[in-house]
């Protein structure tokens, strides 16, 4: 049995750096949980125990992902229901771009909702103008993002 390091994600880092896993490999969840020293609770366990375990795993995973990217230039990506994969260097740029698009879209949508769902009749005329101007600015940002995506799709080699 190997010695468990703390924080637990260091055990996964050790496995990657020792060559147990490398670029392109998938680390199945079962192996990941074992390296973290966090076996998955049984279905019969209490809901709060399952939630506590889930949050602990997410925290360890987030720390591992950030550390591996910043310290070792290795990007890890979750494959839902399967595990985490160490992306090939040639895949990192595309994965980062996809993540950026998702995050920008989500953020712009949330911002638009906060600006457009205002009790408009309770605003002064100056506040109404400020709100309308903000709605126009967010719409312009959304349109600019769409134009960038559209030009990117058109310019993409076949």
Residue 75 in this model has a pLDDT that exceeds 60 = yes
Is residue 24 located within the same domain as residue 66? yes
Write the burial class of residue 36 (CB in 10 Å: 0-12 exposed, 13-18 middle, 19+ buried). Answer: buried
Is residue 31 located within the same domain as residue 78? yes
What is the side-by-side order of every strand in the sheet holding 83-86?
A: 26-28, 83-86, 76-79
Is residue 69 located within the same domain as residue 43? yes
Which tokens hold the place of 106? 């989500």
For the segment 51-64, the average pLDDT, to the nearest whole number, is 95
Report the domain count for the chain.
Answer: 2
Q: What is the pTM of this model?
A: 0.77
Query: In terms of DSSP H, where are the helices of 8-157?
Result: 9-17, 29-36, 47-72, 89-116, 125-155
Rounded distance between C-alpha atoms, residue 8 and residue 31, angstroms: 13
**Whole-number pLDDT of residue 156:** 62
Final residue belonging to a domain, choices 69, 87, 105: 87
Rounded distance between C-alpha atoms, residue 80 and residue 115, angstroms: 33
Residue 2 in this model has a pLDDT that exceeds 80 = no
Is residue 17 located within the same domain as residue 83? yes
Residue 1 in this model has a pLDDT that exceeds 80 = no
* Residue 3 counted as domain residue: no
pLDDT greater at residue 10 or residue 151:
10
Write the pLDDT tens digit of every residue in 102-156. Answer: 898 899 989 999 999 999 999 999 999 999 999 999 999 888 888 887 777 776 6
Percent over 70 (pLDDT), the chain? 95
Is residue 20 located within the same domain as residue 73? yes
* Residue 151 counted as domain residue: yes
**Whole-number pLDDT of residue 41:** 85
Range of the domain at 52: 9-87
Final residue belonging to a domain, choices 33, 63, 87: 87
Tokens 């799709």 correspond to what residue? Answer: 153
* Residue 143 counted as domain residue: yes
Is residue 83 located within the same domain as residue 14? yes
> ω into residue 7 within 30 of 0, thus cis?
yes
């Amino acid at each position: 049995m190997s010695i468990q390091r703390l924080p637990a994600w260091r055990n996964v880092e050790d496995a990657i750096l020792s060559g147990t896993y490398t670029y392109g490999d998938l680390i199945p969840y079962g192996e990941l949980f074992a390296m973290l020293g966090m076996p998955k609770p049984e279905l019969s366990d209490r809901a709060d125990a399952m939630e506590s375990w889930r949050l602990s795993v997410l925290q360890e995973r987030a720390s591992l992902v950030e550390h591996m990217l910043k310290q070792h230039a290795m990007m890890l990506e979750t494959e839902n229901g399967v595990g985490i994969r160490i992306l090939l260097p040639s895949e990192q740029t595309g994965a980062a771009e996809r993540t950026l698009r998702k995050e920008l879209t989500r953020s712009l949508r949330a911002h638009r909702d906060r600006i457009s769902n205002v009790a408009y009749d309770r605003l002064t005329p100056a506040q109404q103008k400020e709100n309308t101007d903000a709605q126009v600015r967010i719409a312009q940002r959304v349109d600019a993002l769409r134009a960038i995506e559209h030009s990117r799709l058109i310019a993409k080699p076949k």
